[in-house]
Amino acid sequence: MNIFKSGVFAIALTVTAVSNAMAQSSLPQVAVLATGGTIAGTAAQDTQTTGYKPGVLTADALLKSVPSLDKVAKVSAEQVANVGSDNMDNEILLKLAKRVNELLARDDISGVVITHGTDTLEETAYFLNLVVKSDKPVVITGSMRPATAISADGPSNILQAVTVAADKDARGRGVMIVLNDRIGSARDTTKTDANSVDTFKSLGSGYLGTLVNQVPHFETRIDKKHTVDTPFDVATLSALPKVDILYGYQNDSGYLYDAAVANQAKGIVVAGVGAGSESRFVLPAIKAAMDKGVVVVRSSRTGSGHVPEDEAYLGLLGDNLNPQKARILLMLALTVTQDPAKIQAMFHAY
Ligand code: ASP
């Protein structure tokens, strides 16, 4: 290359670099908080979708796996935890929620994405839906296949989650679960299959929207109150009250209720059969727990549908929350009141 040609080449490179930097600086800023899970998991074989190690890759490594992110947003990465979501606990939940609120309070941050294991992703999502104090988008995502698998779903899910978090139209919709081209509300979306990539479904209410060609299309809003419209304040909390879930089944027995009370449970969610029915074998133990001040909420082990009023059974109504989400709301409700009437109203409102 002669001097003239190399000079023109250098100018062209500089112009491209400057225009890329200008395009980047006008993009919204999205903070990604990584907590672990399969999305950060690795396996020895690319055929493995089980038996891998979750929570291995760092937040930075996750973002590097999606080169086209820099066309969608300016992205920063932080590691809040690096665990399989079966090991997610109240301590991490509170740390994460406090950090999300800190970030969203900043003028330069447009939205937050959380990467998470899929097993309990919906619990963290619903917790954030109740405690985030901003209408800026908060999106939680994960993956069913580890990062090393053929057709790993993590990179596409991260790109979609950041795209939604960077979208102004995503504001005020509550915390969203984004995987596999779908945008679901934290309240209504649940993991329905242990293995399939198409596992997150919004069973009763449909999806908030979808992504086509990585572009979000919003269809609906959730009517239940969330984020800025709840009374829950994590800033003042260093722990959450203990709430257990007890499953209903044939030939059930009451001793697990006694054990929950003996282990300082302040609340119990009954994952009742059908529409939250409780067997005659457990009703005396539920009554004994309630007499000791434990707040009992009925939900359905079917995982969807409403729990109706029924004099034959004991406890507040969990509305149409599945047991794991009813537990999240009951923990938070108990941080502000012990009054069963007020807690019942919360179950219908949120
Ligand atoms: N066991 C994993 C977890 O929840 C599953 C996943 O992320 O898909 O962390």
Q: How many CB atoms lie within 10 A of CB 13?
A: 10
Q: Over range 308-316, report the average pLDDT.
A: 97
Burial pattern 57-94, b for ≥16 Cβ within 10 A else e, equals bebeebbeebeebeebbbbbbebbbbbbbeebebebbb
Q: Over range 14-34, report the average pLDDT.
A: 77
Q: Can 236 be counted among the known catalytic residues? A: no
Q: How far is the CA of 41 from the centre of ligand 1 (A)?
A: 9
Which residue in 115, 125, 177, 117 sits closest to 144, CA to CA? 117
Number of residues written out for the chain: 350
DSSP 42: B
pLDDT at 288: 98
Domains with residue ranges and CATH for the chain? 27-229 (3.40.50.1170), 243-349 (3.40.50.40)
Lowest mean pLDDT among 43-52, 124-133, 179-188, 272-281: 43-52
Residue showing tokens 């979609």: 160
Name the burial class of residue 5, with classes exposed (0-12), middle (13-18) and buried (19+) by CB atoms within 10 angstroms of its CB. Answer: exposed
pLDDT at 17 over 80: no
pLDDT at 1: 52
pLDDT at 7 over 90: no
Tell me whether strands 209-212 and 182-185 are parallel, antiparallel or unpaired: antiparallel
Q: Tell me the DSSP string of 236-257.
A: G-S----EEEEE--TT--THHH
Q: How many CB atoms lie within 10 A of CB 126?
A: 31
Mutate to test the pocket of ligand 1, among 42, 52, 62, 85 (most ligand atoms within 8 A of CB): 85
Q: Using an 8 Å Cβ cutoff, are 173 and 218 in contact?
A: yes
Q: How far is the CA of 84 from the centre of ligand 1 (A)?
A: 5
- Kindly state if the Cβ of 85 falls inside 6 Å of ligand 1: yes
Structure confidence by residue, pLDDT tens digits, 79-92: 999 999 999 999 99
Q: How far is it between the farthest Cα atoms of the chain?
A: 92
Q: Using an 8 Å Cβ cutoff, are 158 and 218 in contact?
A: no
pLDDT at 311 over 80: yes
Question: Whole-angstrom Cα distance, residue 294 to residue 316?
Answer: 11
What phi and psi, each to the nearest 5 degrees, are found at residue 43? Answer: -135, 165
pLDDT at 87: 97
Question: Whole-angstrom Cα distance, residue 144 to residue 152?
Answer: 8
Separation in Å, CA 124 to CA 117, 329, 343? 10, 11, 20
Element housing 108 (H / E): none
pLDDT at 216: 98
Q: Mean pLDDT of all residues in the chain?
A: 94
pLDDT at 129 over 70: yes
Structure confidence by residue, pLDDT tens digits, 222-264: 999 999 999 999 999 999 999 999 999 999 999 999 999 999 9
Which residue in 256, 254, 247, 347 sits closest to 307, CA to CA? 347
Q: Using an 8 Å Cβ cutoff, are 257 and 288 in contact?
A: yes
Query: Per the structure block, which two tokens stand in for 190?
Result: 């649940």
pLDDT at 183: 98
Q: Using an 8 Å Cβ cutoff, are 27 and 72 in contact?
A: yes
Query: Per the structure block, which two tokens stand in for 290?
Result: 């309630």
Task: Name the residue with the closest Cα to ligand 1, atom 1.
Answer: 84
Q: Using an 8 Å Cβ cutoff, are 176 and 208 in contact?
A: yes
pLDDT at 12 over 70: no
Mutate to test the pocket of ligand 1, among 88, 115, 118, 153 (most ligand atoms within 8 A of CB): 118
pLDDT at 203: 87
Q: Over range 184-210, report the average pLDDT.
A: 96
**In the structure, what pLDDT confidence band is assigned to residue 177 with cuts at 50, 70 and 90?**
very high
Q: Over range 152-162, report the average pLDDT.
A: 97
Which residue in 99, 77, 72, 103 sits closest to 166, CA to CA? 72
Q: Using an 8 Å Cβ cutoff, are 329 and 126 in contact?
A: yes
Say how far residue 135 (Cα) sits from the centre of its chain: 16
pLDDT at 50: 87
Nearest-atom index, ligand 1, CA of 41 = 7
Question: Whole-angstrom Cα distance, residue 36 to residue 106?
Answer: 25
Q: Over range 193-204, report the average pLDDT.
A: 95
pLDDT at 8: 58
